[in-house]
Structure 1
Amino acid sequence: ITPRLIFISYRLRSACRLQRIQGHVMSTKAGSEVLFEKVGNAGVITLNRPKALNALNLTMIRHIYPQLKKWDKDSETDLVIIKGAGDKGFCAGGDIRAITEAGKAGDSLTQDLFREEYILNNTIGTYQKPYVALIDGITMGGGVGLSIHGRFRVATEKTLFAMPETGIGKRQPVFLSPCGFIICLTRQIVSLEKDLVDLKSPSNSDVAQLLDSYQEQMGFLYMFVFVGLLLFCCFRLFSAGSVEEIMENLKKDGSAFALKQTETLAKMSPTSLKLTFRQIQEGARMSLQAVLVMEYRLSQACMRGNDFYEGVRAVLIDKDQSPKWKPSTLSGVSEQAIEECFSSLGERDLKL
């Protein structure tokens, strides 16, 4: 086999690989992965990938964004409801495998998906009409973005709400809306949705009043007490000037809770832990728009680095649960490296 044939074969394999990546993200018929319907005066969005726990991809983002814009201007649409198909999850996050393959191949998906996802999140966060997310079941990553930024979130006893990014070497988004969650029972979701679409020209206070009538009082009391205790523990243990100080606080405390957190954090990417720590510090003083610009810069930094790909390999591909982080220790992560991740991308910065 001549060098030229080897080169041609390599180029063909590379081209096919890129086609598979793009096809994985954009291959379905328009609208099949996310459904839109008008029920009464309500616009209803259904994430329609139940076998993938409704994981969010670029196709879905590119359908949801213009539809939200259209309903926002439509005088006959009074509110928007978003939900997930199936009975297991609202949205289990983004399509990590596709992003990983695209990043390795240098495909523009790693820029396009994050850019358009954050623009969509900003649209949800600034939406003028009532926006209600029914997050029954697993809600992680991209699913958090589709729900937490809206005005109303309805959780159930089945809701699993999480941002597990540091475990795969990615930073963890930090902007949380000040409004809380309404808690109802899964069996009430159908009747709640019916009552929502039956509202006539509802204001935000009308929607809030209806949701409050479904509030599961015992569940709310349990969550209030549990979250209160958890916040007290977290404030005491996690109030520190660095990740290293947090680890030291946890080790000194010695409680079962603290030891469990120490064990969990020790498995995470040191770089991601330091990025997340700084995010939390800076994000607390920022608007949603400023946070999303920061998030986009960090997403691109993670795509340029090692730990995201290594985390995906260890957790999702080889499943050996033994990622080889670079650097492997907190002390090995320089302040210069962290600073570079937060630096402006110039013309490539997110524009909102």
Structure 2
Amino acid sequence: MTVLTEPGVDAAASAPVLPAGPSQNARARRGAPSWAWLGLVPFAAYVILFLVVPTVLSVGSGFFTEDGTFTWGDVAALGDPVVVQTFANSAGLSLLTAVVGAIVGALVCYALLGMNPEGAVRSTVDAAAGVLAQFGGVMLAFAFIATIGIQGVVTVFLQDALGIDIYAGGTWLYELPGLVLPYIYFQIPLMVITFMPALAALKPQWAEANLTLGGTRASFWLRIGIPVLAPSFLASLLLLFANAFSSYATAAALASQGSQIVPLQIRTALTSETVLGRENLAGALALGMIAVVGVVMALSSLIQRRAARWQS
């Protein structure tokens, strides 16, 4: 089709003006300065101060002496039988409390599954789990000492009323076995927080399809529910392991003497008056903890990605 224009008028000027396309709008947006990154500044500062800087300091103190000389001595000390046993104690304690917390927490989530998400019971449990998962340190240690300590309320009642002495075999609460109960105390609510969304994401249509095909409730969980929830359960289990492995304040308040687990051994290396000149060993121990927790969290992230495929 031929377009006629008046004499002396440029054809390009007389052409109709079309609206800008998506590519033009995108180029315009790219050209304009964006200040959205400012929202990440507080989080970035938090990560740098409480994650990056401690990691760099632990690496530096583990590989370098006080005068800046590079050394393998502190890192080689991680192979010492005492240090290896301490890591084994931490891993065993973390694995035990993570497994117990994961199983009990999953059962609590299953009990809540049939309740109204907006109901009083479900809301109360969710709120309590959010609070109790963060209830640790000196407060939790004091609660256990006041309850089942040597002169605790429950201890005295069992001894006076029933003649049961829970410390007949020794004061286990202030030793490594005594850390199991306090750790489980905050592991269960953490499992409820992390695993409940995955359990709630199970689609009712899957259960209906199972019943339509002649399945039972047991076959649904064995063939559909458990295989689908397994990645989320394992990811939560690894998170609980890392949480227990890196816990310090509760153990420090209960076990004031000795260094049965790695965080307490780091404290001993930094504050002991009998073991001098081994302050850099604390950095090597911290480096070992960072390596263990890093591997665990990397596995948890990989498993969680697999679980996110069906949850989305």
Same fold (TM over 0.5): no
Higher relative contact order (CA 8 A, sep 6+): 2
Higher strand share: 1
TM-score, normalised by the number of residues in structure 1? 0.23
- The structure whose Rg is larger is 2
Higher helix share: 2
